[in-house]
Chain A
Amino acid sequence: MALELSDLDRELAGGARGGAAAFAMRLLMRLAEAVDARAFIAIEQAHVDGCLYLGQASLDFVERMTALGGKVRVPTSLNVGSLDLIHPELFRGSDEVRVNGKRLMQAHIELGCAPTFTCAPYQTAHRPRFGAQIAWGESNAIVFANSVIGARTNRYGDFIDLCCAITGRAPEYGLHLTENRFARAVVQIDAVPPGWDMERLCVAVGHFVGRRCGGLIPAIVGLPADADEDNLKALGAAAASSGAVALFHAVGLTPEAQDLKTACGGLKPKLVLRLSADDLRDAARSLSNVRDGAPLAAVTLGTPHFSMSEFARLMPLLDGPRPVVDIWINCSRATLEELRARGWEERLSSAGLTLVVDTCVYVTTLMRVGAGAVMTNSGKCAYYAPGNLGVEVAYGSLAECVASARAGKVVRL
């Protein structure tokens, strides 16, 4: 199918809007051909995932854009970088990452991106509206925008998210189109293990869905009606780590899934999975690779970045003895401002917690990891930390993480 270009697309590609736009449009046109898109659409905003330093290639690409005088054409938020620019003393990695990582973050600001440096742009002023066409990177942000908000984005990776931002265009394919947003898998939760809280349930469901649904959009039936945004965020983040999930429907909870029929668009599902209490226990258990009672080195919270409502749940848990291992919490610099305004930052640091902004402990070198495992309440962090940080992990609920930090070992409640 031939690619149809608008006048604007031709101007962009031809260099009338600058060299960076022409370079970006050329890559987008080749991507459009590779994904079989027929045209481009206008996007309202972008979220760029390229400011985490993954090696020279990350920087070379962005410096090509800055050298060509590039500027973003739509409001653009930035994902986490490799450094906490507010607390630079926390960084313990190599000089290469320190220098190039900082330059990479700065170069994106020069391109006109907003220095949000968060993997949860949906918790900021950059939250898109229902139905908005957007181009987002960062797998958890993508799945949240599509599923919980009902905005429309494909899984835009590094490089191409910036190309979309610089042109204001995205190939018209995949999840931008209504007909591709219907569920093709149904995941029915038959039973929840007794005593489980919502947080654990959503992480276990997310992990299961990612492992088992392949490329099919799932409609999840049977999540309790009081699952909130933080729970759905954790579900999506887990599913987008263990699988390629870019959109899920939670029937009765998410905006394109008032009921199962609507979520499926009248199509017959290709896959129907039933989740028993045992399946859920297995999913949660598989996120830990140490036994209960194992010694802990640290606890990390806020993958994706902790929201104000998550801080509100954490605060009362801090009343009691000081933790004996470090607790790290990742959040955005905007959230840090709010914590300061509420006087919570002081309470957190006096309880021995370390706040990390602009980055996340599992993508860069901050934690001093000695003997013992790292515990987290994040399915995403539990999934990636062993590979990224070379540590053993334990997954537990927020309350279990705090109790374990006090005990210095993995505690179950």
Chain B
Amino acid sequence: MSGAAFSAATLSMGAASGAPLRLDEPLSFWGGLDPATGRIIDRWHPQLDANVAGRVLMMPAGRGSSSGSAALAEAIRIGVGPAAILLLERDPIVVVGAMAAAELYAIACPVVLARCEDWTELAAAQRLGISAEPQGARIVVMQGR
């Protein structure tokens, strides 16, 4: 069963679903995320100790180390990366990490550019389905966990 649908721009392709995890601040995947477990380890981050594994990670923008791409790709390889990533600003480091994981391991972690006005509603959903294709992306609000 699904509810409202939102359009978004595709930054890295793929389809996935998961419960949203809205970050109050951007996260640096390198130094901020433990790639072995998916736990947020940046002591400055408001969501310190939250786990991104399998979640639809909602972060406004990227930040911090340029090693974030490899850290993200490694987390995806191990299976503790986010299911998908929603951004409000285009961020090459996040996009490249997801692309590299797709190339090397054929594991898709779609990255999409959502609209600012949809952010609160998306974050309130129990579960989100993402489908990111070359022409564009759709985010669907799903019921249940």
User: Chain A: residues with CB nearer than 8 A to chain B?
Assistant: 23, 27, 30-31, 34-36, 49-50, 52, 54-58, 60-61, 64, 137-139, 142, 154-161, 214-215, 240-244, 289, 383-384, 386-388
Contact = CB atoms under 8 A, between A and B. Distances in A.
A36 B32 CA distance: 27
A54, A156, A215, A241 pick with most chain B CB within 10 angstroms? A54
B37 interface: no
B25 to A, nearest CB: 9
A154 to B, nearest CB: 7
Most chain-B CB neighbours within 10 Å: which of A36, A57, A64, A244? A57
Q: List 5 A-B pairs, minimum CB-CB distance, nearest first.
A: A55-B74, A158-B70, A157-B69, A244-B63, A157-B93
Interface residues of B, number: 42
For chain B, what secondary structure do more than half of its interface residues adopt (helix, strand, loop), or is it mixed? Answer: helix
A55 B92 contact: no
A27 B64 contact: no
Contacts of A242: 44
Given A64-B104, A387-B43, A160 B90 contact: no
Contacts of B23: none
Given A137-B66, A159-B100, A387-B42, 14 more contacts: A34-B90, A34-B95, A56-B74, A57-B73, A57-B77, A58-B70, A138-B66, A155-B66, A157-B70, A241-B65, A244-B26, A244-B62, A386-B43, A387-B31
B124 interface: no
Contacts of B63: 243-244
26 contacts: A31-B92, A34-B10, A34-B90, A35-B95, A49-B66, A54-B70, A55-B35, A55-B77, A56-B77, A57-B70, A57-B100, A57-B105, A60-B77, A61-B73, A139-B66, A156-B66, A157-B93, A158-B69, A158-B96, A159-B69, A214-B61, A243-B63, A244-B62, A383-B44, A387-B42, A387-B43
**Most A-side CB within 10 Å, residue of B43, B44, B70:** B70
B14 interface: no
Contacts of A244: 26, 61-64
B123 to A, nearest CB: 19
Contacts of B44: 242, 383
Interface in B66-89: 66-71, 73-74, 76-78, 89
Interface string B92-112: 110111011101110000010
B92 A159 contact: no
A34 B71 contact: no
